[in-house]
Structure 1
Amino acid sequence: MKGEKDYYRTVDDHSGEIDEKAGLRRCGGQGDILAGALGTTLHWAKLVNVSIAEACVASSFLVRYLSNKAFEKIGRSVEAPDMISEIPDTLRNIERVYFRHD
């Protein structure tokens, strides 16, 4: 369920919330960004043996994070392309932290 926090429940009845701060404006296209994020995190989850549920949570977290980063830069006129422009740096940071190639 979307809102100030995102709430989720898995098929094995685990529930939780994602309270990553999101931007203060919900713009059109965020669902499309979520769909792309979900495809990416599901693929990554398969590569590193992470559950589908964790991939879904990561997708929600990512979209909320992108929304907040774009809102901090643009303000109330933020649009989906502004969120998309935050993806490269965000993914580089994720890869640096979780997929280090030492």
Structure 2
Amino acid sequence: MHDSTPPPPSSPNPPSGPAPERGGDAVEREVAREIVGTVIAWYSKQLLLARHSGDEQRLEQLKAQRLECVEDQRRLDEAGPQEITRIATAYTARWKELDAATPPES
């Protein structure tokens, strides 16, 4: 049998949040958010290690660097395509440096 029930009406209220983006911008923003998040996670781990070692100078340095990353991640919410690309490029390079400088876990 054929269902003759009409489809439900669309929501009268537009979705809240940022305006829809072009597909590429949304993907670029998400990629940038992921790489910044990876760098933030690295700093978070290093902060724990610095706390355990009692290295106050390194702890303060890591806190400042992590805060900078968090601010850049927030900046992505309002960033245009060029700023998104700049942040993604900068954090990709930063991650490569941090990863290369990190001794492997045993």
- The two structures have a TM-score, normalised by structure 1, of 0.33
Higher relative contact order (CA 8 A, sep 6+): 2
- The two structures have a TM-score, normalised by structure 2, of 0.32
Rg larger in 1 or in 2? 2
Indicate the structure with greater strand content.
1
Indicate the structure with greater helix content.
2
